[in-house]
Structure 1
Amino acid sequence: MECFRIDESGFTGFDLLNADQRFQGASAIAIENDDAERLIKQYFPKLQAPELKYHALSKREANHPRLLGLMRDLLSNFKCVTYVCDKRYMLTLMFVDYAVEPYYYERGLNLYANGRNYAMASMLHMAGPTLLGKPQFRRLMASFQRAMKIKDARALKELVEAARATNWEQLPEVVGPLAQYAPRECLGAIATPELTTDVAMIVLTSLITRMEVMADSAYRVEHDQSKNLATYHELLQRFIHHNDTVQFRATEITTLSFPLKLTKVVQVDSRRSPAVQLADVMIGAAIEAGNKLAGLRTGGLDPEQLLALYANEQFIHMLPSTDFEEQRRFRQGTQGGELIDYLATNLMGAKR
Structure 2
Amino acid sequence: MQREMQCFHIDESGFTGYDLLNPEQRFQGASAVFVSDDEAARLIKEFFPRLQAPELKYQSLVRRQRYRKPLIELQRAVLSQFKCTTCVADKRFLLILMFLDYAVEPFYFKRQIDFYEDGQNFSLASLLWTAGPTLFGSGAFDQILAAFQRAAKEKSPAALGSLVETVRAADWNQLPGALGPLALASPECLGAIATPGVSTDAALVLLQALITRMEVQSQGRYEARHDQSENLRRYHELLRRYIDHKERVEFVHSRIASLRFPLKLTSVVQVDSKTSPAVQIADVLVGAAVEAANTLAGQRQGGLDPREVLSLYAEDQFIHYLPSNDFAEQKRLRSGSQASEMIDYFARHFGGGTT
Fold conserved (TM > 0.5)? yes
Deviation, 1:24, is 0.7
Q: Residue type matched to 1:261 in 2?
A: K
Deviation, 1:194, is 1.0
Q: Does 1:329 align with 2:332?
A: yes
SS in 1 for 2:225: strand
Cα distance 1:349–1:209, how it changes in 2: closer, same or farther (>3 A)? closer
Q: Name the counterpart of 1:90.
A: 94
Q: Residue type matched to 1:30 in 2?
A: F
Deviation, 1:120, is 1.2
Q: Residue type matched to 2:100 in 1?
A: V
Q: Which among 102, 121, 128 is matched to residue 125 of structure 2? A: 121
Q: Is the 8 A contact 2:199 2:351 kept in 1?
A: no
Q: Name the counterpart of 1:146.
A: 150
Supply the distance in 2 between the matched residues of 1:108 and 1:148 (Cα, whole angstroms): 24
Q: Name the counterpart of 2:112.
A: 108
Q: Does 1:37 align with 2:41?
A: yes
Q: Does 1:211 align with 2:214?
A: yes
Q: Name the counterpart of 2:175.
A: 171
Supply the distance in 2 between the matched residues of 1:128 and 1:268 (Cα, whole angstroms): 43
Q: Does 1:343 align with 2:314?
A: no
Q: Residue type matched to 1:149 in 2?
A: K
Q: Residue type matched to 2:52 in 1?
A: Q
Q: Name the counterpart of 1:267.
A: 270
Q: Name the counterpart of 1:314.
A: 317
Supply the distance in 2 between the matched residues of 1:186 and 1:259 (Cα, whole angstroms): 30
SS in 2 for 1:158: helix
Q: Is the 8 A contact 1:5 1:276 kept in 2?
A: yes
Structure 1 residues 234-249: aligned runs within 5 Å: 234-249=237-252
Deviation, 1:151, is 1.0
Deviation, 1:347, is 2.5
Deviation, 1:114, is 1.0
Deviation, 1:349, is 8.5
Corresponding residue pairs, total: 349
SS in 1 for 2:139: helix
- Which aligned segments of 4 or more residues in structure 1 are displaced greater than 6 angstroms? none
Q: Does 1:281 align with 2:284?
A: yes
Identity level (%): 58
Q: Give the TM-score of the pair, scaled to structure 1.
A: 0.97
Q: Which among 11, 14, 17 is matched to residue 18 of structure 2? A: 14
Moved more, 130-139 or 99-108: 130-139
Q: Give the TM-score of the pair, scaled to structure 2.
A: 0.97
- Structure 1, unmatched stretches of 5+, are none
Q: Is the 8 A contact 1:128 1:134 kept in 2?
A: no
- Structure 2, unmatched stretches of 5+, are none
